């Protein structure tokens, strides 16, 4: 039976083509892989398309180092059963992921026509340099991202030793015509309760589309339920047929976006303070200023549900903005309301907003000492898997994040840009001075504290494709 792409999958009960698909799929796509330590290599294949042998050989040699989605899921299950410190989704072996750009496929000797037929996603084919996302000009991107990137290799794991060892093993497979033009090092940050946070100090990675029935069951029974907000998404929201692979029925891949987003922590802290002052927020209520920028308090408590942090353990994701239609609790311009309006967007053409959600797999980068408020050198390596970069990542950044009228078209004053990642002119925004009270106060827009330093689009092919080269 062909893989049912219209529904989530139970991996434990998968048989036939669905089981083969899991054995042929890269890890980290259907379920995030632990990547507290993360190494990224950006590669160029120096030889032209007429001489693709070295690039092809390199990729076939990499394939045996990569675990499949099935192996990853099995490892997580075994690890949980062994009850190592009650660790949740920790894995035992590092993850190796590989993606190729359109230029990378050309260097493997594939023709423009073959690539055009194999990939439908126009964003993938034109690359991030040609995107209209109000990014800084490419001349201001970091050097590696200004170049033509052909491939990306990700190595993620729980401890730095095994990640470094794997990176070295991979470097050892390179021949002289495979150049490393850029490297990134991801380093997970955790709060006192052990939860993953980003550099502004907020719990991150909580809300995700879920593609596995087992993850949905866990969300239902242990993580706050799915009765109000259902994170269920069909496989087709993240998987696409790998048309260049040997078997189109069982070989799938996913489009991958990488964006290096530098965070000016001092500027963001200042923005939180300025907003609290402008709204005359006092004492404990001052924390609400930052929560209004993000949409959750630092500990993850959704602002639309509570006026103060600390209400939910584990942090719930079971909410919408149905009881907050006027944005009197959580402003429209808060990061999580802009990037997932949860049914409260008002564009008729957009019948199902959840189709634009993507599987976020980002990791923080840069080191800092306690109490430091770095202005540069730290940030987020934003990463996400998509079945359409055009409809998911780019749609979100362009039509929601950067678009001042979303999600309340025609309202005066306009909602404004996403206060965390919005790019472009920021009009003044209106904020509820008292949580839950209609009266709002207009305040000049907070300054942008996130700067895009470069990025690219890739396709993460199936394992049989890599082996077949």
Among 200, 403, 459, 465, binds ligand HEM (CB under 6 A): 200
How far out from the chain centre does Cα 341 lie?
17
Q: Does 205 interact with ligand HEM (rule: CB under 6 A)? A: yes
Q: Of 57 and 354, which has the nearer Cβ to ligand HEM?
A: 354
| CA–CA distance, 234 with 171 (Å, rounded to integer) | 37
User: Considering the rule CB under 6 A, would residue 420 count as an interface residue with ligand HEM?
Assistant: yes
- Binder of ligand HEM out of 135, 184, 204, 306 (CB under 6 A): 204
Q: Per-residue string for binding with ligand HEM, 354-393, x by CB under 6 A? A: ---x--x------------------xx-x----------x
Nearer to ligand HEM, 107 or 337 (CB): 337
Q: How many CA atoms lie within 13 A of 140 on its CB side?
A: 9
Q: Which residues between 252 and 281 bind ligand HEM (CB under 6 A)?
A: 259, 261, 263
DSSP string for 243-309: TTSS-TTT-EEEEEEEEEEEE-HHHHHHHHHHHHHHTT--GGGGHHHHHHHHSB-TT--BTTT-SSS
Return d(Cα 181, Cα 145) in angstroms, integer. Answer: 9
Within 10 Å of residue 221's Cβ, how many Cβ atoms? 10
Beta bridge partners of 360: 384
By CB under 6 A, the count of residues binding ligand HEM is 29
**Pattern 308-337, ligand HEM, x by CB under 6 A:** ---------------------------xx-
- Nearer Cβ to ligand HEM (97/302): 302
Q: Which pair of structure tokens corresponds to residue 420?
A: 């965390």
* Block residue for tokens 């802290």: 269
**What is the nearest approach in angstroms of ligand HEM to the Cβ of residue 382?**
4
Q: Read out DSSP for 364-423?
A: EE----TT---SSS-EEEEEEEES-TTTTHHHIIIIIIT-TTTTSTT-SS---S-TTT--
Tell which positions 73-102 bind ligand HEM, by CB under 6 A.
none
- Give the closest residue to 233 by CA, choosing from 216, 219, 250: 216
Which pair of tokens denotes residue 204?
A: 């991150």
Binding mask 428-457 for ligand HEM (x = CB under 6 A): ----------------------x-------
Closer of 75 and 204 to ligand HEM (Cβ): 204
List contacts with ligand HEM (CB under 6 A). 198, 200, 202-207, 259, 261, 263, 294, 296, 335-336, 339-340, 357, 360, 379-380, 382, 393, 396-397, 401, 420-421, 450
């Amino acid at each position: 039976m062909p893989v049912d792409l219209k529904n989530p999958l139970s991996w434990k009960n998968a048989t036939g083509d669905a089981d083969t698909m899991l054995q042929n799929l890269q890890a980290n796509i259907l379920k995030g892989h632990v990547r507290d330590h993360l190494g990224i290599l950006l590669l160029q294949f120096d030889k032209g398309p007429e001489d693709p042998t070295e690039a092809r050989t390199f990729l076939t040699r990499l394939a045996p180092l990569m675990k499949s989605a099935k192996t990853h899921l099995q490892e997580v299950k075994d690890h949980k059963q062994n009850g190592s410190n009650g660790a949740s989704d920790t894995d035992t072996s590092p993850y190796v992921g590989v993606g190729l750009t359109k230029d990378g496929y050309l260097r493997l000797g594939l023709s423009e026509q073959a690539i055009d037929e194999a990939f439908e996603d126009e964003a993938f084919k034109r690359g991030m340099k040609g995107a209209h996302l109000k990014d800084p000009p490419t001349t201001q991107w970091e050097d590696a991202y200004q170049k033509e990137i052909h491939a990306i290799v990700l190595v993620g794991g729980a401890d730095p030793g095994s990640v470094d060892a794997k990176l070295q093993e991979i470097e050892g497979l390179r021949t002289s015509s495979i150049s490393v033009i850029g490297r990134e090092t991801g380093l997970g940050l955790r709060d006192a309760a052990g939860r993953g946070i980003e550099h502004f100090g907020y719990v991150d990675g909580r809300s995700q589309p879920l593609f596995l029935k087992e993850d949905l069951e866990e969300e239902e029974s242990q993580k706050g339920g799915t009765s109000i907000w259902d994170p269920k998404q069909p496989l087709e929201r993240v998987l696409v047929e790998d048309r260049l692979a040997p078997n189109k029925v069982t070989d799938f891949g996913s489009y991958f976006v990488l964006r290096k987003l530098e965070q000016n922590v001092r500027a963001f802290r200042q923005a939180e303070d300025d907003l609290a002052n402008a709204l005359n927020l006092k004492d404990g209520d001052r924390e609400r200023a930052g929560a209004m920028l993000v949409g959750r308090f630092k500990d993850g408590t959704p602002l639309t549900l509570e006026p103060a942090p600390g209400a939910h353990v584990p942090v719930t994701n079971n909410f919408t903005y149905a009881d907050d239609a006027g944005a009197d609790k959580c402003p429209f311009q808060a990061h999580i309301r802009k990037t997932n309006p949860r049914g409260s967007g008002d564009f008729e053409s957009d019948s199902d907003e959840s189709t634009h959600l993507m599987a976020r797999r980002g990791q923080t980068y840069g080191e800092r000492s306690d109490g430091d408020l770095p202005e540069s050198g730290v940030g987020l390596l934003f990463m996400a898997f998509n079945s359409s970069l055009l409809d998911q990542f780019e749609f979100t950044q362009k039509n929601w994040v950067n678009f001042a009228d979303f999600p309340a078209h025609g309202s005066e004053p306009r909602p404004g840009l996403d206060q965390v990642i919005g790019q472009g002119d920021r009009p003044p925004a209106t904020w509820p001075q008292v949580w839950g009270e209609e009266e709002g106060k207009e305040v000049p827009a907070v300054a942008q504290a996130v700067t895009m330093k470069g990025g690219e689009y890739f396709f993460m092919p199936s394992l049989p494709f890599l082996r077949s080269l």
